[in-house]
Every structure is written in C-alpha cells, then in structure tokens.
C-alpha cells in the first residue's frame, strides 16, 4: 500500500509520521505513569488511526477510528503537553489520586478489539465501498414519476425542511440541551428530532443516489452544495454545530474517495480541483453561518428561558481561564473545539476511579429510561456539575463514551468483547446498507452517524435504540422502492419474451 503512493503522498506521510513521533515523545515526558504502558497505548492508537486511513476498509472503520483517536490518545497527549485540566468531569480520579495507567489500559483494550474486527473483515475480503451505478435506458415507473415531477418534489421537500426547522426553533419541539416546551402526540417529538438530525439528509442523499445508480452519473456540484445547505439548516434548527461538522465531513470523505467519479479528474484536472476548492469554501461559509446562528439562538434560549447563571457557566470558556491564563481567548476556544469537545478519556478516568463497578451497574445503565427531570447514572459517577442544574428545563450531560460505559462492568474482558461485537455489527450494518441502497454517499452519512453514536455512547441507551429503530424503518422503506424497481424490470423482461 505504502509502496504504491506517489512521491508527494509518500513525502507527506513521512512528515506526518515524524510529527506524530515528536508529539508522542513530548507527551511521554509528561506522562505520570509507566512509560511502557503509555508507549503501547500510543502504538495501538497509531495502528488504529493510520490503518484506517492508509488501508481504507469502510466508512465506519474510518470515522470510528478517528473519533476514538481524537477523544482518547490525542486528547490525553495534548493535556499532557500543555498541562491544563480536562473540560469535563472526571469523578473521583484526582481525589483518590487515580492511576493514569488504568485509563490507558482500558482504552488500549477497546482499541485492540476494534483492530481485531478490522483484521477479521480484511480476511473476509469485502470490497471497499465504491459508488455503484448501472446506467439503464429503461427507467422504472417510480423513477419516471420522480423525473416528471422533480421540481414539485424538491419544492415539497425543502418546504417540509424549512417548516419543520422553523417550528422546532420557535416552539422548542426537540432542541439539543433543552427539555421540550411543546409536547406532540407520541412519537412525533422523536420523529421531528430524527428528521432534523439525520432523516432529511438521508432522504436527500437517497434521491441523489437513485439518480446515480439509474443514470450512471455522479452527484453534481449543485447537489453536493445543497447537502451542505441542508445540513446547515437542520443543524441550526436543533442548535448543534457538531451535526453540521459530522455531515459535511462524511460528504467530504465520500468526495475524496470518489474523486474521479465525481469530478472526472482524469479529463478535467484543473476544473476538478477548482470545483473541489469551491465546495470546501462553500462548506466553510455554511459553517460560519451555523456557528453565528447557533450561538445567537443559544444565547436567546439560555438567557431568556433558563437559569442563565448555571447555563452560561457550564457553556462558557471561563472554566478554563484560571488554568490557561497564559493563553489568549482564541487559544482557549481552539482547545475547547479542537481537543476538549471529543469524548473519551475523561469518561474512563471517572469510571476507573469509581468503586462500585460491576454487573449490576452496567445492567442498570443499559435498562434505565429517560424521564423529564431525571439525570443519567453517569452524572453521579463523574460528579458532573450538570447534575445540579434544573433538569426540568435543560438536558445537558457529561458523556462517558463507549469504552468507559463497557467498563462499568469492571471487567476488561467485557470492554474487549463488547467493543468487538459493536465494531462487527457496525461493519456488517454498513455492508447491509450498501447492499440495500446501493449508494455509498448515503452509506457514508449513516456510518458517521453511527460512529458518533458509538463514540458518545452511554447516556440512556434505550433512547439510542429507538433512534436506530427509526433508521431501520427508513432503510426498509427505501429498500421497498428499490425492490419495486427490480420487480417491474423483471415483469417487463418476462412480458417481452412472451
């Protein structure tokens, strides 16, 4: 794989590896535990991240590896080098003088399980997800109906998006961080949030993939730009900057891995590079709009409707100011957004220092349902300041992450086998989605959605399963449309033979 790299890519890889080594040595010198354990921890995560990038196997593999690497090795290393406190609660870790080696071991065991999953899939020799298109001169009835009414369909679709987004903003049907002010007939609140968080995006990309598969053409620049616009609207509607980043990242990775198919770079190299640059710049403009809009709306909701003193304290950068007096406001903001927003290491620190781990704890956490006013069990484990807020108005929470959640059991075997099962299910599910929808763009977005869920796993898992159930219903419905096409083609072929 490495030998096949171009001189430019090989040089870039060498620079990255040298930088990684320097970063590792700088953090190793500040590590408070065993240097051997930290070195093994660093080696395992280097294999995880470089293996996912250099030997691309699936979108799920790539996104989950990146999220875990950011939340565990990268986050810990930056804190070791800069020596500033973690932004999220760590329970009794510093009170009892917790052992950082325990944190590194738990994180390493989980990562080893995922590496084992990916090696297992390599043995299965499953093809990398590529854009599948089968150009056909005979379109099925459903697609003809879509083509004949495309403008009307897109008008209705965007009208639904804008109406749903506006309604959610004005009536607080389901906004991130807030308890709903408007309670609709069950389960409409959950459906509204699911539609805004992922449903509209999946519907739009499914329509794009439908065209790609039947006409054998790549997504157009307008369609890729429209995804960014749609992601910005839905992200603003639920007050989530992170959602926009995740969706656009998935689209960007898909674009890179399907560069020639999308931009025909072998024929129009200069035009292709300009188109890619235009796409990146447009996504950055959309992101700026999302940041400004979300900050404005959060200020409105948190200042006007809530206990502003508690909320603003929890969301501001002031909690870093006492320990980062030598850093500018921009530096503190950069550390918060680029380093501390990723989930992982604090959760393991809190759980390893919690004395009452065991089967009873993990079963209670798995089966506990969310009711308004109640907090998740992890808020007590981590001693999070969110537990003291008015939980009848807000729904903020510190998140443990998948490895910390599995370590509720107190067993490294549970961490290993639990991570192995979850990783296996994710890769099989991606393959299942790919086979169902025959659209790697939709597959990439679903993969980053699931990777985000897994990396941030731990808060009321029952609610996560509900979201996954809605996703499954969507996939079944989409598959019915595709299957109907196949049936129509089959009946036509039989009729022509008679």
pLDDT, one tens digit per residue, over 460-470 is: 888 888 888 99
Is it the case that residue 134 has pLDDT exceeding 80?
no
Report the share of the chain in percent with pLDDT over 90.
42
Is it the case that residue 317 has pLDDT exceeding 50?
no
Helix (H) or strand (E) holding 324: none
The b/e string for 109-138 (b: 16+ C-beta within 10 A; e otherwise) is bbbbbbbebbeebeeeeeeebebebeeeee
Q: Would you state the pLDDT for residue 400? A: 92
The model carries a pTM of 0.87
Kindly state the average pLDDT of the residues 478-483.
Answer: 78
Question: CA–CA separation, 498 vs 448, rounded Å?
Answer: 48
| Banded pLDDT at 129 (limits 50, 70, 90) | very low
Q: Would you state the pLDDT for residue 318? A: 39
Is it the case that residue 179 has pLDDT exceeding 90?
no
Question: CA–CA separation, 139 vs 147, rounded Å?
Answer: 10
Q: Would you state the pLDDT for residue 486? A: 55
| Banded pLDDT at 79 (limits 50, 70, 90) | very high
Per the rule left: phi > 0, alpha: psi between -120 and 50, beta: everything else, 210 is: alpha
Q: Would you state the pLDDT for residue 416? A: 97
- Count of CB atoms situated within 10 Å of the CB of 381: 25
The conformation of residue 388, written as its DSSP 8-state character, comes to: G
| Banded pLDDT at 299 (limits 50, 70, 90) | confident
| 125-134, 144-153, 201-210: which is most confident | 201-210
Helix (H, G, I), strand (E, B) or coil at 195: helix
Where is average pLDDT lowest: 78-87, 182-191, 387-396, 473-482?
A: 387-396
Whole-number average pLDDT of the chain: 83
Is it the case that residue 120 has pLDDT exceeding 80?
yes
Per the rule left: phi > 0, alpha: psi between -120 and 50, beta: everything else, 451 is: alpha
| Banded pLDDT at 273 (limits 50, 70, 90) | confident
Kindly state the average pLDDT of the residues 166-184.
Answer: 87
pLDDT, one tens digit per residue, over 449-458 is: 999 999 999 8
Check residues 440 and 293 and name the one with the higher pLDDT.
Answer: 293
Is it the case that residue 237 has pLDDT exceeding 50?
yes
| Banded pLDDT at 161 (limits 50, 70, 90) | very high
Q: Would you state the pLDDT for residue 484? A: 66
| Banded pLDDT at 80 (limits 50, 70, 90) | very high
Contact 71, 342 (CB under 8 A): yes
Q: What are the C-alpha distances in Å from 492 to residues 438, 478, 479?
A: 22, 22, 20
Question: Among 133, 253, 240, 154, which residue's Cα sits nearest to residue 197?
Answer: 240
Q: Would you state the pLDDT for residue 221? A: 87
Q: What are the C-alpha distances in Å from 426 to residues 22, 47, 51, 58, 64?
A: 33, 19, 17, 10, 10
Question: CA–CA separation, 81 vs 83, rounded Å?
Answer: 6
- Count of CB atoms situated within 10 Å of the CB of 106: 24
Q: Would you state the pLDDT for residue 458? A: 86
Check residues 9 and 220 and name the one with the higher pLDDT.
Answer: 220
Q: Would you state the pLDDT for residue 309? A: 39
pLDDT, one tens digit per residue, over 25-50 is: 999 999 999 999 999 999 999 999 99
Q: Would you state the pLDDT for residue 392? A: 67
Is it the case that residue 105 has pLDDT exceeding 80?
yes
Report the share of the chain in percent with pLDDT over 70.
83
Q: What are the C-alpha distances in Å from 150 to residues 90, 127, 156, 371, 442?
A: 52, 33, 10, 42, 20
| Banded pLDDT at 126 (limits 50, 70, 90) | low
Is it the case that residue 498 has pLDDT exceeding 70?
no
Question: CA–CA separation, 390 vs 302, rounded Å?
Answer: 12
Check residues 89 and 485 and name the one with the higher pLDDT.
Answer: 89
């Amino acid at each position: 794989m490495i030998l096949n790299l171009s001189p430019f890519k090989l040089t870039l890889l060498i620079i990255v590896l040298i930088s990684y080594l320097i970063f590792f040595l700088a953090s190793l010198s500040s590590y408070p535990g065993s240097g051997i354990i930290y070195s093994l921890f660093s080696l395992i995560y280097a294999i995880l991240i470089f293996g996912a990038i250099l030997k691309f196997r699936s979108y799920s593999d790539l996104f989950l590896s990146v999220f875990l690497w950011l939340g565990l090795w990268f986050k810990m290393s930056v804190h070791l080098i800069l020596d500033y406190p973690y932004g999220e609660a760590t329970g009794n870790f510093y009170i009892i003088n917790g052992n950082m080696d325990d944190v590194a071991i738990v994180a390493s065991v989980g990562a080893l399980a995922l590496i084992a999953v990916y090696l297992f899939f390599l043995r299965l020799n499953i093809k990398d997800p590529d854009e599948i298109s089968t150009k056909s001169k005979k379109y099925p009835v459903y697609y003809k109906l879509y083509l004949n009414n495309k403008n009307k369909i897109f008008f209705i679709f965007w009208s639904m998006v804008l109406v749903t987004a506006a309604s959610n903003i004005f009536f607080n049907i389901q906004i991130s961080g807030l308890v709903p002010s408007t309670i609709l007939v069950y389960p409409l609140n959950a459906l509204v949030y699911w539609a805004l968080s992922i449903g509209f995006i999946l519907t739009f990309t499914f329509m794009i993939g439908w065209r790609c598969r039947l006409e054998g053409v790549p997504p157009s620049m307008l369609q890729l730009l429209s995804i960014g616009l749609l992601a910005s609207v839905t992200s603003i509607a639920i007050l989530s900057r992170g959602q926009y980043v995740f969706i656009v990242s998935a689209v960007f990775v898909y674009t890179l891995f399907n560069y020639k198919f999308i931009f025909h770079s072998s024929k129009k190299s200069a035009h292709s590079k300009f188109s890619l640059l235009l796409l990146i710049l447009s996504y950055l403009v959309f992101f700026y709009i999302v940041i400004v809009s979300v900050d404005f709306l959060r200020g409105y909701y948190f200042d006007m409707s809530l206990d502003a003193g508690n909320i603003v304290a929890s969301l501001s950068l002031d909690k870093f100011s006492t320990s980062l007096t030598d850093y500018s406001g921009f530096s503190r903001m950069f550390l918060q957004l680029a380093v501390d927003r990723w989930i992982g290491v604090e959760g393991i620190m809190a759980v390893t220092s919690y004395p009452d781990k065991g089967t009873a704890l993990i079963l209670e956490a798995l089966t506990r349902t969310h009711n308004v006013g109640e907090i998740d069990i992890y808020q007590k484990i981590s001693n999070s300041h969110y537990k003291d807020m008015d939980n009848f108005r807000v729904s903020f929470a510190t998140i443990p992450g998948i490895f910390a959640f599995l370590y509720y059991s107190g067993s490294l075997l549970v961490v290993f086998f639990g991570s192995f099962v979850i990783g296996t299910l994710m890769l099989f599910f991606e393959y299942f989605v790919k086979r169902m929808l025959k659209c790697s763009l939709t597959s990439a977005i679903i993969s980053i959605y699931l990777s985000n869920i897994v990396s941030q796993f731990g808060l009321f898992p029952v609610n996560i399963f509900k979201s996954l159930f809605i996703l499954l219903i969507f996939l079944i419905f989409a598959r019915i449309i595709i299957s109907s096409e196949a049936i129509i083609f089959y009946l036509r072929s039989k009729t022509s033979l008679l």
